Structure 1
């Protein structure tokens, strides 16, 4: 992806499971609360890139650009890409990665997200 290239506009995607969840008022608030708690518990640390001994923020940027190109090439949903980037951030927050393994980590997490 070339810097300055405009990104396509993404359309919202609605899943039938989400509609079913919203229609089930009895449990929906509990489910949303649970999911929000899990999101807060497992979010990446704010300064996780400072703890990486061999990679810099610019390398993460290159990896994310490459993931965008791969997702675009294979026509994957935008949500798959967003989930993969979230997985990358969470993984880098918890593990040290050597620069020669960064693309492998990104590839594995992209396929897990798919």
Structure 2
């Protein structure tokens, strides 16, 4: 219909900008920074608890789940990772995608 009226449509394209820190060509975003520079500037863990005390009994291989419960789990197991993550506060404010022991 638009072509019949002597009009034509131009497909929209996304422009490019230079990263304000390193100068590489990239698609624009709110910060006008590439992903690498953005990661170096922004701490995505800000406001999240980074340390928690976990009490371990080496004799029975159990971990204290306060106030009085002890859970048995193997070192570096999925269950231990889940236990550790649940002990961290403020994780309900973020969407956890991946977790592993390092």
TM-score (norm 2): 0.24
Greater relative CO (CA pairs within 8 A, separation 6+): 1
* Greater helix share, structure number: 1
Greater C-alpha radius of gyration: 2
